[in-house]
């Protein structure tokens, strides 16, 4: 929809007066009772930017892509009044509700009812309220060279249902946008809600004034990446602790996951987990890979590449004993992933037991078990899948507390584990 230009800024659509978010609108919007046992009692999450009086959250939909949406409006390509036509978009698999959905502190970083808004709030949508899904669930075939290789080497055998002769594995996949219940997020991080709100406001350069001016709004749609979940087998089996569950929670690493960079074990561990998920499902179990957009330990790729240079240029070269120190020098911390929110996705699926956790991370293990989910066996990455240049990382992590069925490297060994130069 084309708009007239403002004469002061030719070419830019005239959007009218700026309405500040801090004190107006939303006061008569439907309320959110986080953790209420039904969708109707909980109330819809409304992050619309078109009718301000309907809003009952801070921020807007689509996570980090909300900024691209703003660009599309600024460019005149997208009408602010556009409403999604949700015809035929409903989930391919029904998830829940599970008892965890009705505990306000069990799930605090996603909306458990986010996939079902069209079914849960038909009257509100018919009345013109812009309620959008924050979760979408679909089906896919995934084809990976590592899985084809496992078939060629006889480790995997196609069964025609879970794994096809073509090498394609059949999955259900869900995309999940972040929806934060601020009192619950503060509780996970051991700070007060007021502290959390103030620091979120200040550390985003004052992006969301409502964080500090609208204490009546408890739900925040943060402008960050979300998660994607791949399920092998029947998604309903995830909630049944008697069905063997193989699971990996994986944090994004674009360099390895997509481009095959050999400085870390991310992609080999991810594809090993997918192989284990297929094997487990063929045994009558179910598999799950939850992939979080937390690039480079949530430090981002610029910081990550700076650390690579600092590691490889330091006196003595890239050694395992300096691995965490170099990250901390650049970033100020070793890790910003803070696994405290990660178990939410597991509770959304009603998971109570993970029989085989394909992860060596003590931080992930502690977060999962600390949230009340039982973990059986921990599955390490096989040694022959660790790239030569990634030995520095995996040995440093094992020395720092990562699970290993073998010996933990000592200080002398860490000094001698050396990566490639630049």
Report if residue 256 touches Zn ion, rule: CB under 5 A: yes
Total Cβ atoms within 10 A of residue 15: 12
Smallest distance, Å, CB 256 to Zn ion? 4
Candidate list 135, 147, 266, 307; residue touching Zn ion; CB under 5 A: 266
Give the interface segment with Zn ion, choosing from 242-250, 259-267, 348-356, 371-379 (CB under 5 A): 259-267
Of the ranges 56-64, 215-223, 255-263, 330-338, which one interacts with Zn ion (CB under 5 A)? 255-263
Q: How far is the CB of 304 from Zn ion (least distance, A)?
A: 8
Tell me whether residue 299 is exposed, middle or buried, using C-beta atoms within 10 angstroms of its C-beta: 0 to 12, 13 to 18, 19 or more.
buried
Instruction: Return the range that interacts with Zn ion (CB under 5 A); candidates 55-63, 148-156, 263-271, 347-355.
Output: 263-271
**Interface with Zn ion (CB under 5 A), residue from 186, 235, 243, 264:** 264
Run of H or E residues at 269: helix 266-282
Shortest reach from residue 269's CB to Zn ion, in Å? 9
Task: Give me the catalytic one of 237, 335, 344, 395.
Answer: 335
Which H/E stretch holds residue 12?
A: strand 9-13
Residue 39 CA: distances (Å) to CA of 55, 101, 119, 178: 17, 10, 10, 18
Please, which residue, 221 or 358, has the CB nearer to Zn ion? 358
Q: Is 394 in the site for Zn ion (CB under 5 A)?
A: no
Active site residue 155: no
Q: How far is the CB of 287 from Zn ion (least distance, A)?
A: 21
Residues 328-367 that bind Zn ion (CB under 5 A): none
* DSSP conformation class of 153: T
Nearer to Zn ion, 170 or 400 (CB): 400
Backbone angles phi, psi at 286, to 5 degrees: -140, 150
3-state helix vs strand vs coil in the chain, percent to 5: 35, 15, 50
Choose one: 115-123, 191-199, 214-222, 257-265; the region binding Zn ion (CB under 5 A): 257-265
Q: Residues 337, 352, 356, 378: which is the catalytic one?
A: 337
Give SS3 for 418. strand
# chain residues binding Zn ion, by CB under 5 A: 4
Stretch near Zn ion under the rule CB under 5 A, chosen from 102-110, 265-273, 310-318, 347-355: 265-273
Q: With respect to Zn ion, which residue has the nearer C-beta, 214 or 250?
A: 250
- Pick between residue 295 and residue 340 the one whose CB is nearest to Zn ion: 295
d(CA 185, CA 107): 9
Beta bridge partners of 232: 287
Cα-Cα end-to-end distance for the chain: 51
Minimum distance of Zn ion from residue 253's CB (angstroms): 3
Assess 381 for contact with Zn ion (CB under 5 A): no
Residue among 129, 179, 247, 253 that touches Zn ion (CB under 5 A): 253
Asked whether the beta carbons of 79 and 253 are under 8 A apart, the reply is no
Spatial separation of the C-alpha atoms in residues 9 and 97, rounded to whole Å:
50
Q: Tell me the closest approach of the beta carbon of residue 279 to Zn ion, in angstroms.
A: 24
Interface positions, 42-101, toward Zn ion (CB under 5 A):
none
DSSP state of 285: -
For residues 23 and 36, what is the distance between their CA atoms, to the nearest angstrom?
Answer: 27
Complex with Zn ion: residue 202 or 301, whichever CB lies closer: 301
Q: Is 335 a catalytic residue?
A: yes
Q: Which two tokens stand for residue 283?
A: 């045994």
Strands (E), 253-352: 286-292
φ, ψ for residue 83, nearest 5 deg: -115, 135
- Contact of 45 with 131, CB cutoff 8 Å: yes
Binding stretches for Zn ion (CB under 5 A) = 253, 256, 264, 266
Catalytically active residues are: 335, 337
């Amino acid at each position: 929809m084309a708009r007239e230009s403002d004469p002061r800024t030719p070419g830019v659509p005239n959007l009218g007066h700026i309405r500040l978010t801090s004190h107006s609108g939303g006061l008569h919007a439907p309320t959110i009772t986080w953790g209420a046992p039904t969708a109707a009692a909980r109330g819809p999450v409304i992050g619309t930017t078109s009718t301000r009086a309907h809003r009952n959250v801070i921020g807007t939909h689509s996570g980090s892509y909300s900024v691209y949406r703003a660009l599309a409006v600024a460019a005149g390509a997208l009408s602010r009044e556009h409403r999604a036509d949700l015809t035929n978009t409903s989930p391919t698999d029904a998830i829940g509700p599970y008892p965890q959905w009705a505990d306000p502190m069990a799930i605090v970083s996603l909306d458990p009812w986010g996939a079902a808004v069209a079914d849960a709030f038909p009257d509100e949508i018919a009345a013109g309220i812009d309620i959008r899904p924050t979760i979408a669930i679909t089906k896919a075939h995934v084809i990976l060279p590592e899985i084809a290789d496992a078939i060629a080497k006889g480790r995997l055998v196609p069964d025609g249902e879970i794994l096809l002769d073509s090498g394609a594995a059949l999955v259900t996949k869900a995309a999940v946008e972040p929806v934060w219940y601020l009192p619950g997020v503060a509780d996970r991080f051991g700070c007060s809600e007021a502290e959390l709100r103030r620091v979120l406001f200040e550390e985003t350069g004052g992006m969301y004034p409502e964080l500090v001016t609208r204490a009546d709004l408890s739900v925040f749609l943060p402008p960050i990446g979300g998660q994607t979940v791949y399920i092998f087998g029947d998604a309903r089996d995830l909630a049944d602790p008697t069905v063997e569950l193989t699971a990996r929670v994986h944090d994004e690493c674009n360099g390895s996951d997509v481009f095959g960079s050999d400085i870390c074990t991310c992609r080999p561990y991810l594809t090993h987990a997918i192989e284990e998920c297929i094997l487990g499902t063929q045994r009558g179990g179910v598999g799950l890979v939850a992939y979080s957009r937390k690039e480079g330990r949530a430090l981002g790729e610029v910081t990550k590449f700076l650390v690579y240079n600092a590691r490889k240029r330091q006196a003595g070269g890239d050694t395992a004993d300096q691995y965490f120190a170099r990250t901390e020098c650049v970033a100020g911390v070793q890790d910003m992933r803070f696994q405290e929110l990660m178990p939410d996705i597991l509770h959304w699926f009603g998971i109570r037991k993970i029989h085989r956790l394909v992860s060596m991370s003590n931080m992930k293990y502690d977060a999962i078990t600390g949230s009340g989910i039982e973990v059986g066996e921990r599955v390490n990455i096989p040694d022959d899948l660790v790239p030569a240049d990634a030995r520095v990382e995996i040995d440093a992590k094992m020395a720092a507390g990562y699970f290993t069925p073998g010996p933990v490297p000592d200080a002398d060994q860490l000094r001698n584990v050396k990566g490639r130069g630049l």
